[in-house]
Structure 1
Amino acid sequence: MNKNRLLVISLCALLLPYGAVAYGADKALEQRLQRLERRVGHITELMLEVQALKRTNRELQGQVEEQQHALERMRKKQRELYLDLDERLGRLQSGRMSTTAPVPQMQPTESQPVVPAPETASSETTPGSPVYPPADPAQEQADYNAAYGWLHPSKRRYKDAIAGFKAFLVKYPQSDLADNALYWLGESYYVTQDNKSALASFDRLLKEFPSSDKVPGALLKKGYILDAMGKREAARKMLQQVLDKYPSSSVARMAQARLKHMKTSR
């Protein structure tokens, strides 16, 4: 009996170190698993943060694109508002002109011989200069009105207006309405954002018709276009020229407002 007890005790003594070793190994393995779980959890959190940043970036890009589209729409609307204002002013001016009665022409009678009009410098032609037939005033006005009509706010067919005014200037280069046609041609180009062609039209107006009542508006629009093209110093000089030459005009107030905006938007 004592021998059996001694045998059991001996076996327990022999197995005890192995149990301790196994317990220690299990504990170390559990600690390693816990560290791995923490690392996996940290990586998961980082992935979620990266996904959130990507989503935020996409949202910001969408907002930037929307703002760019909105800004472009505002610029186009601003151009159309300027054109609408000019159209209203032009309509008022045309109304005042239409109230002026035409001067009646003297008609020859049988008792009054017809004396041929003396030749003037305007009737003389130089070699190589184009000769234009006398224009029908009614048809001339009708052609101008047809081109001008495409600018009405209910139509806004600017390409048709451009074609109409260009054809008018070719057909009636000596017309009293040529300066108006050049101005509205420039406006039509301006609204369609063809800044180069708009500048060419306004420059031609300023060169060929320096005393036209459209000159202040042409200078103002040149300032706008130069500013839009990034030529801010040239734009400031042009707008300041409007203020210096036409201080009491409506375009001077518009030039002043644009200069103030340019100063605050640096």
Structure 2
Amino acid sequence: MAFLKLKGALGTAVALSAVLLSPMAVAEPTMAQLEKQLNDRNAALLKMQNRVQQQDAAIRDLQGRVQDLSDRLSALEKGGAKPQAPAANPAADQTAKQEPATAPAAPAPESKKASGDPKKLYEEAFTQVRDNDLQKAEAGFLELIKDYPDSDLVPNSYYWLGQIYYKQKQYQKSRENFLNVTKYKNCSKRADSIYKLGAIEELLKNPDKAKKFYQVVINSYKGSTEAVLAQKALDRLK
């Protein structure tokens, strides 16, 4: 009887072990656990990637310093020892004081353009506009356009020339310069130049042309001050 009980207990234990070890009995991870594992792995990979990038940056910096040091050493080797200053010569110094200084060589004809400053020229001309010295301002802007045609101040120079001629009622010249401004799509004064073209056509008794310019401002520069002014002018001409 005792043997039978023991046998039955062992059979139960074996059956229970089989159930516990069965693949179906192993608890599967939940979706939240899987997401956490994935996030943890991605975070670890990102951290490792950052470390690799930092190490690469440090290596590149070190290589740059080594190259710079190598270049300096090469330059020193090629140049040799730095020459020593010549010994003082009182007699020569006295002669140099007595002799007049040699006049500097005349600058080359193109030195003005090579070493000139279009920004300074523009600022001077703009100051003359504010001072109402329109003749000098005109000359300054014309000089800038002629001598520095590639300067980014050329569009603004055309604009102020247009304003100068407009104030002097030289409408054809004013029109030409405002038209030049419109060729520069990124010029901050393009919208006002187009509006001024409309105003000029209106003054020249060309209302249909004026309307076209005003409409361009309204369509191209919505919400701008120039668009508001153009709309008022357009309403007046209707």
Question: What TM-score results when the alignment is normalised by the length of structure 2?
Answer: 0.51
Other-structure match for 2:190: 215
Equivalence map 1:241-252=2 (5 Å): 241-252=216-227
Other-structure match for 1:234: 209
Q: Contact 1:182 / 1:202 at 8 angstroms: preserved in 2?
A: yes
Other-structure match for 2:41: none
| One of 117, 142, 145 as aligned partner of 1:166 | 142
Q: Contact 2:155 / 2:181 at 8 angstroms: preserved in 1?
A: yes
Question: What TM-score results when the alignment is normalised by the length of structure 1?
Answer: 0.46
Q: Contact 1:199 / 1:222 at 8 angstroms: preserved in 2?
A: yes
2:232 and 2:212 map into 1 onto residues whose CA distance is 14
Runs ≥4 residues deviating over 2 A: 109-113, 131-137, 260-263
**SS at 2:186 equivalent:** coil
Per-residue deviation, 1:162: 1.4
Q: Contact 1:140 / 1:172 at 8 angstroms: preserved in 2?
A: yes
Per-residue deviation, 1:136: 4.1
**Unmatched 5+ residue regions in structure 1?**
1-108, 114-130
Q: Check if 1:144 corresponds to 2:118.
A: no
Does the C-alpha gap of structure 1 residues 158 and 261 become closer, same or farther in structure 2, counting only changes over 3 Å?
farther
Per-residue deviation, 1:183: 0.8
Q: Contact 1:182 / 1:201 at 8 angstroms: preserved in 2?
A: yes
Q: Check if 1:156 corresponds to 2:135.
A: no
How many residues end up aligned between the 2 structures?
Answer: 134
| One of 133, 155, 175 as aligned partner of 2:151 | 175
State percent identity of aligned pairs.
27
Other-structure match for 2:81: none
1:167 and 1:245 map into 2 onto residues whose CA distance is 32
Task: State the AA in 2 paired with 1:179.
Answer: P
Q: Contact 1:158 / 1:192 at 8 angstroms: preserved in 2?
A: no
Q: Contact 2:195 / 2:213 at 8 angstroms: preserved in 1?
A: yes
Per-residue deviation, 1:133: 7.9
- Report Cα offsets for 1:185-204 as digits up to 9, x if no partner: 11111111110001111112
1:135 and 1:224 map into 2 onto residues whose CA distance is 39
Other-structure match for 2:174: 198
